[in-house]
């Protein structure tokens, strides 16, 4: 794509998109150009339609992949090429309502025990203990840990800041980690990335290796720890609006999905069958 790629990258940076989103959008724009062996500037609505149909029918791409490709091409034609008419026809994809995968407390403990490297054990522990995304955990700075107020300051998606909880057990673990490793450069988890922090790709590999070693057979990704954090808080009776704030969700609807995966809440709910013939059953008429 050459010059067009550079223009799109500049537009993404101006728009404040995260480095990971920039990488994904540029990747799919490049695939689009490579499929037709032509610049996207010379392609139009019919080509976008043919490319998406190719991904759906021939490649059997997942819904998530199709969503990312659509977003990439929408940005390319709306912003960089300033030709929104080429993608105005794109239908809004139907959402699949799937409950998030959640680990039990026993599975979380087994997973953490299976991580041998202190740095990555701490990264994965923080993800579960504070409900962090993998990118948020890998880019934590020492100054983000506020031991006096018992909170962790997070710079999340879209540069939005929030605070999440810092438990006594997590704080103790972080202090032990600090004494053992003495991280330098300001990053809590230094690594080999260009900025000097731990690479999320490496943390992801460590997570999957530990999940296999722990005997976890569920289809899991590191994000399952964030799901588990939220669900376990709701299991413990935490108000859903508090969980929303800890996760940094803009909408309560995004958080309410975890009320549907709370086994404890489901188990505490009485079936109307159990109420028949009892004083409490009088409300049934």
Residue 157 a catalytic site member: yes
- Whole-Å CA distances, 241 to 136, 167, 252, 256: 21, 19, 7, 9
| Phi, psi of 141, rounded to the nearest 5 degrees | -110, 155
Q: Pick the catalytic residue: 133, 200, 227, 232?
A: 133
CATH superfamily for domain 105-266:
Intergrase catalytic core (1.10.443.10)
Higher-pLDDT residue of 249, 23 = 23
pLDDT 10s digits, 29-72: 999 999 999 999 999 999 999 999 999 999 888 888 999 999 99
* pLDDT the model gives residue 265: 58
> CATH 1.10.443.10 in the chain, residues?
105-266
- Give the pLDDT band (50/70/90) at residue 225: very high
> CATH 1.10.150.130 in the chain, residues?
3-86
pLDDT 10s digits, 132-168: 999 999 999 999 999 998 999 998 666 678 899 899 9
- 3-86: CATH topology is DNA polymerase; domain 1 (1.10.150)
Q: Kindly report the number of other CB atoms within 10 A of residue 16's CB atom.
A: 9
Q: Pick the catalytic residue: 17, 28, 120, 258?
A: 258
Residue 258 a catalytic site member: yes
Q: Pick the catalytic residue: 70, 226, 227, 232?
A: 226
Residue 35 a catalytic site member: no
Q: Is it the case that residue 281 has pLDDT exceeding 70?
A: no
Residue 205 a catalytic site member: no
Q: Is it the case that residue 274 has pLDDT exceeding 70?
A: no
* pLDDT the model gives residue 259: 73
Positions of E strands within the chain: 145-146, 151-155, 161-165
Q: Pick the catalytic residue: 157, 162, 204, 208?
A: 157
- For residues 28-60, b (16+ Cβ closer than 10 Å) or e, as one string? bbeebbeeeeeebbebeeebbeebbeebeeeee
Q: Are 88 and 74 in contact (CB under 8 A)?
A: no
Residue 268 a catalytic site member: no
Q: What does pLDDT average to over the chain?
A: 88
């Amino acid at each position: 794509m050459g010059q067009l790629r550079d223009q799109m990258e500049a537009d993404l940076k101006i728009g404040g998109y995260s480095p990971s989103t920039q990488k994904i959008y540029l990747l799919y724009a490049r695939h689009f150009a490579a499929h037709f062996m032509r610049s996207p500037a010379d392609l139009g609505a019919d080509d976008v339609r043919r490319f998406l149909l190719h991904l759906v029918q021939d490649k059997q791409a997942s819904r998530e992949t199709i969503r990312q490709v659509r977003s990439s091409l929408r940005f390319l034609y709306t912003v960089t090429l300033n030709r929104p008419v080429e993608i105005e026809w794109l239908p809004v994809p139907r959402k699949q309502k799937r409950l998030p995968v959640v680990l039990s407390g026993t599975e979380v403990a087994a997973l953490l025990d299976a991580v041998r490297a202190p740095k990555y054990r701490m990264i994965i522990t923080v993800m579960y203990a504070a409900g962090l995304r993998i990118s948020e955990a890998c880019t934590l700075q020492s100054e983000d840990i506020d031991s006096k107020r018992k909170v962790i300051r997070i710079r999340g998606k879209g540069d939005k800041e929030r605070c999440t909880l810092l438990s006594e057990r997590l704080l103790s673990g972080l202090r032990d980690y600090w004494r053992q490793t003495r991280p330098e450069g300001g990053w809590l988890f230094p690594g080999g990335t260009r900025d000097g922090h731990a690479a999320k790709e490496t943390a992801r590999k460590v997570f999957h290796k530990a999940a296999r070693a722990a005997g976890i057979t569920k289809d899991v990704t590191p994000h399952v720890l964030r799901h588990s954090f939220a669900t376990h808080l709701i299991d413990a009776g935490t108000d859903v609006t508090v969980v929303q704030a800890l996760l940094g969700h803009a909408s309560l609807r995004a958080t309410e999905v975890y009320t549907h995966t709370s086994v404890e809440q489901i188990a505490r709910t009485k079936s109307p069958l159990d109420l028949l013939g009892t004083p409490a059953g009088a409300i049934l008429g």
